[in-house]
Chain A
Amino acid sequence: GEDVEQSLFLSVREGDSSVINCTYTDSSSTYLYWYKQEPGAGLQLLTYIFSNMDMKQDQRLTVLLNKKDKHLSLRIADTQTGDSAIYFCAESKGSGGYQKVTFGTGTKLQVIP
């Protein structure tokens, strides 16, 4: 079955880069997502990448996908205190439009001022 694994915690200093890593098991994934969840809040879609891409950059965010190793990473450049949150890696697969998303456990990012 599908499984998505992440490390539970990452601590970085403000201004440094953060790299959050994720591994997944399902090679038939179509989309891979990064969501941000602040305390008590909902899921904010940060970025996504199609499974046929290997990199996507969006302002301070860079997503790298190594499909061979089933490894996804999210790099946040110039990390700010407002980036402190839980970051969920997720994969989805489906056909005909229907997508079923499997989430990782989430990585809690702590940004130290």
Chain B
Amino acid sequence: EPEVTQTPSHQVTQMGQEVILRCVPISNHLYFYWYRQILGQKVEFLVSFYNNEISEKSEIFDDQFSVERPDGSNFTLKIRSTKLEDSAMYFCASSEGPGLSSGNTIYFGEGSWLTVV
């Protein structure tokens, strides 16, 4: 079954450093997302991306965050200057396209644990 893959699975970084989390969405999917889960808390929406631009972003997704689809397969989340409170599991997700069908469900990756020290 096709899946969303994420790298790295775990990253430890010093406060203030830049971090890039990488994702390879499912190949025929057109809509891409990042979510995060702080330890013990809910999974929260960060941003959605379609047609090379952000569709929607949450208030968490401030100027320190950016997303990019640098080529036809990767989708990245960059945190410019990490803070301690950015420590979380970051999930990439993708969905195929319009319509109420099985093709439009969202599939999540395994997540990337980010620990900021």
Q: Residues on A close to B: CB < 8 A?
A: 30-31, 33, 35, 40-43, 45, 48, 50-52, 88, 90, 92, 95-106
Check if A41 sits within 8 Å of B110, measured CB to CB: yes
Question: CB < 8 Å: which of A31, A45, A104, A105 contacts B108?
Answer: A45
The proximity string for B residues 49-60 relative to A, scoring 1 for CB distances below 8 Å and 0 otherwise, is 010000110000
Q: Residues on B close to A: CB < 8 A?
A: 30-31, 33, 35, 42-45, 48, 50, 55-56, 89, 91, 93, 95-100, 104-111, 113
A66 to B108, CA, bound (A): 26
Nearest residue, chain A, Cβ from B95: A99
A109 to B98, CA, bound (A): 34
A7 to B95, CA, bound (A): 28
Check if B108 sits within 8 Å of A97, measured CB to CB: no
Give the A-B pair count, Cβ closer than 8 A: 68
Question: CB < 8 Å: which of A52, A99, A104, A105 contacts B106?
Answer: A99
Question: CB < 8 Å: which of B56, B96, B111 contacts A97?
Answer: B96
Check if B104 sits within 8 Å of A52, measured CB to CB: no
Question: CB < 8 Å: which of B31, B98, B110 contacts A42?
Answer: B110
Question: CB < 8 Å: which of B31, B42, B104 contacts A105?
Answer: B42
Nearest residue, chain B, Cβ from A104: B42
Check if A98 sits within 8 Å of B31, measured CB to CB: yes
Nearest residue, chain A, Cβ from B9: A42
A52 to B30, CA, bound (A): 24
Question: CB < 8 Å: which of A42, A99, A103, A106 contacts B104?
Answer: A99
Check if B91 sits within 8 Å of A52, measured CB to CB: no
Check if B96 sits within 8 Å of A42, measured CB to CB: no
What's the least CB distance linking B74 to chain A, in Å? 18
Check if A97 sits within 8 Å of B99, measured CB to CB: yes
For the complex with contacts A97-B96, A99-B31, A99-B104, 17 further pairs of A-B residues with Cβ separation under 8 Å are A31-B105, A33-B105, A35-B108, A42-B108, A42-B109, A42-B110, A45-B105, A45-B107, A45-B108, A48-B105, A97-B50, A97-B95, A97-B99, A98-B31, A98-B56, A101-B106, A103-B43
What's the least CB distance linking B103 to chain A, in Å? 9
